[in-house]
Amino acid sequence: MSVTGVTEPITETEIDQLCINTIRTLSIDAVQQAKSGHPGTPMALAPLVYTIWNRVMHFDPQDPIWPNRDRFVLSNGHASMLLWSVLHLTQTQAVNAEYESLGQPSVTLDDIRRFRQLDSRAPGHPEYHWVSGVETTTGPLGQGVATSVGMAIAQKWLANRYNRPGFDVFDYKIYAVCGDGCMMEGIASEAASLAAHLGLDNLCWVYDNNHITIEGNTRIAFTEDVATRFLGYGWNVLRVGDANDTARIEHSLEVFRKTTGRPTFIILDSHIGYGAPHKQDTPEAHGEPLGDEEVRLAKRNYGWPEDAKFFVPEGVYEHFSAGIGARGAGTRHEWTKLFASYRTAFPELAAEIDQMQRRELPGGWDRNLPVFPPDSKGIAGREASGKVLNVLAQNIPWFMGGSADLGPSNKTLLTYEGAGHFQADSPEGKNLHYGIREHSMGAIVNGLSLSKIRAFGATFFIFSDYLRPTIRLSALMELPTILVFTHDAMGDGEDGPTHQPVEHLSSLRAIPGLVTLRPADANEVVEAYRYIMQLRHKPAVLVLSRQPLPTLDRSRYAPASGVAHGAYVLADTLGGNPEMILIASGSEVSLALNAHEALLAEGIRSRVVSMPSWDIFDDQTREYQDSVLPPNVTARIAVEQASTFGWERYVGSSGHIIGMKTFGASAPLKELQRKFGFQPDRLVAAAKELLGRE
Ligand SMILES: Cc1ncc(C[n+]2csc(CCOP(=O)(O)OP(=O)(O)O)c2C)c(N)n1
Ligand SMILES: [Mg+2]
């Protein structure tokens, strides 16, 4: 090999090696150019990724969203150059958010040259909404593997619902690559345990066992026997002792494809920074550019022209095209033919698949949604939600979910005839049992959603912290996931401060792109679901009460459809020219109404605004916002059983906020309401004070 080119490869092995070294050197050069990034793991795992992509995976670069493609998840997202290299070398095509092909490569060589730079399609970590061919956003370690379990559940459910004898329309597999970091993160353990319980034999994790993390050798913090751990979960555990042995890698992947009844875990012994004489097997190879001299030496070791940069030798694109390209195109064309006859034989099922793939809802999806009659005793938010979920799940075949062992409390159980429970031997079930695994529940919901299933998860609102990182990823990926959080505030009374959310609403409201909704009564719950279900690219969180809330008389007050605006005038003063405004969400809305009546009786012109969602309200026109909160009415009180944090934006500097500034306490709800000031008298007094009245 010379500086000017590479000699014509002769054997299959040589061209394989050339492709592998192209992945390695593109990664090295990109990191070197960016002066930041992670070269070592791409250098070590290039043979693995090459084998999965070019030898095994059914994936058509021409159509990266073909529904029956195999999925590839890079859970050690810092090794993103692996993905950018293969997406580029396979010439995977770009698609937009409307699922249309853009007729251009997803990742160009120029993007790679501009690795980690603004607008490059080769960003620091794999980003789902940004680069076609990325199946899920990764980087927070453990998330990718946990998400892959959701993808595997989805495949099983889809296969069960849609496959028919002779028509295996869904038979894809899921491959996830991970490192020591993913293995140490708790979320991966939760997900691995559930994957084995559910017998997900469509799922393969490959563990890059290189004994290196940022601080050094894993002996400083990670000495468990990972193989025994996975055997304990019930996985099929294989080992490949040399990450450069592509034949062994390919064989182990074949064993995976033939294994039934359990997921497969392949331990791959590798050398981080493989080929760099001074950096191999060191933590420096993990996250620092190699440096010019070391780059030259590594290239010399690979038999590469030492001064060539971003060099793709002749024959490399062609070899990917003849490998994954031809195989992917072949299987996709066969599938397309199969699906055409499937459409003739099973038109309704085919139509469902079409709609689901475009994230549309079936006709009649909202028929029979309940309307709750006025009732001063009312029902709990969670009860109303349970009724809605049971209607939606019957109207939308691919709508499903469950709770982290709190189904009876969250009221998320689907109880209608035939709803079923998803298990290894009942993959038709629509009730998912995540177990007490909130962290991975969030990731699994993401994985289901990435597979186009409309999925929900549920737990107590207090434990939303446990899955916050996954909610953040839903928002970042623009996925329409749904989280149902009940026991929204002090209603959990006697359970005390460990179970009483305070800062959670503020924390979720701070996540860009997430819709947080806290409905005030049963009809607001219905309208909240009506709004959420129509979202195609945004996640939503529902925050629901444990205790009954009065069902408001909508002939007296404004209709609950106002929920779709995030906030609306629920009750007003005659003539609609208020001198003060009470703003509330959830259980505090009826409290505000009580105070409102008392204020009116005293001749104070008050208005009540129900504000179930800041996020939705902030998206309304300025005109609408001003009609709800007229700028000249500065006497405003916000009341919410949660941290006061952030309410200043609606009450202004001269307003007043009644909320929590401490944790709660263990006592019956009524006493807590008294102790923390959630009583009509307090609102009335605050209103008078603001207005300077006695
Ligand atoms: C949740 C989380 N914590 C910390 C980090 C920062 N981080 C990125 S890579 C890394 C070390 C990962 O080690 P390993 O998975 O063994 O990767 P390798 O260096 O072997 O590629 C850490 C701590 C992260 N990305 N995500
Ligand atoms: Mg490692």
pLDDT at 8: 61
Q: Which helix (H) or strand (E) holds 246?
A: helix 246-258
Amino acid identity of 374?
P
Q: Catalytic pick from 284, 438, 588, 640?
A: 438
Q: What strands, in cross-sheet order, belong to the sheet with 580-584?
A: 568-571, 606-610, 580-584, 636-643, 656-660
**Atom from ligand 1 closest to the CA of residue 469:** 1
Q: Identify the residue whose C-alpha is closest to ligand 1 atom 21.
A: 41
How many other CB atoms sit within 10 Å of the CB of residue 675? 12
Q: Name all residues whose Cβ lies below 6 A of ligand 1.
A: 41, 76, 78-79, 139-141, 179-182, 185, 208, 210, 212-214, 272, 286
Q: Which ligand is nearest to the CA of 75?
A: 1
Q: Tell me if residue 260 falls in helix, strand or coil.
A: coil
Please give the distance, rounded to the nearest whole angstrom, from the Cα atom of residue 222 to the centre of ligand 2: 10
- Residue ranges near ligand 2 (ion) with Cβ within 5 Å: 179-180, 210, 212
Tell me which of 75, 189, 214 to substitute to probe ligand 1's pocket, judged by most ligand atoms within 8 Å of the beta carbon. Answer: 214
The mean pLDDT of the chain is 96
**Atom from ligand 1 closest to the CA of residue 78:** 9
- Cα-based angle 152, 157, 163 (whole degrees, multiple of 5): 115
pLDDT at 232: 98
pLDDT at 460: 97
pLDDT at 498: 93
Please give the distance, rounded to the nearest whole angstrom, from the Cα atom of residue 208 to the centre of ligand 2: 7
Q: Which ligand is nearest to the CA of 41?
A: 1
End-to-end CA separation in angstroms for the chain: 92
334 is catalytic: no
Strand ranges (E), 281-343: none
pLDDT at 6: 54
pLDDT at 3: 42
Please give the distance, rounded to the nearest whole angstrom, from the Cα atom of residue 36 to the centre of ligand 1: 15
Q: Which ligand is nearest to the CA of 77?
A: 1
Please give the distance, rounded to the nearest whole angstrom, from the Cα atom of residue 272 to the centre of ligand 1: 13
**Atom from ligand 1 closest to the CA of residue 79:** 21
**Atom from ligand 1 closest to the CA of residue 76:** 15
pLDDT per position as a tens digit, 330-363: 999 999 999 999 999 999 999 999 999 999 999 9
Q: Which residues of the chain have pLDDT under 70?
A: 1-10
pLDDT at 1: 44
pLDDT per position as a tens digit, 59-112: 999 999 999 999 999 999 999 999 999 999 999 999 998 889 999 999 999 999
**Atom from ligand 1 closest to the CA of residue 181:** 15
Please give the distance, rounded to the nearest whole angstrom, from the Cα atom of residue 179 to the centre of ligand 2: 5
Phi, psi of 348 (to 5 degrees): -70, -40
CA-to-CA distance for 463 and 472, rounded, in angstroms? 15
Among candidate residues 232, 179, 238, the one with its CA nearest the CA of residue 204: 238
Q: Which ligand is nearest to the CA of 187?
A: 1
Q: Are 191 and 233 in contact (CB under 8 A)?
A: no
Tokens representing 236? 């099929």
CA-to-CA distance for 379 and 524, rounded, in angstroms? 12
CA-to-CA distance for 367 and 351, rounded, in angstroms? 19
CA-to-CA distance for 304 and 478, rounded, in angstroms? 41
Please give the distance, rounded to the nearest whole angstrom, from the Cα atom of residue 598 to the centre of ligand 2: 65
Percent of the chain at pLDDT > 70 equals 99
pTM (two decimals): 0.97
Tokens representing 582? 């009470």
pLDDT at 7: 58
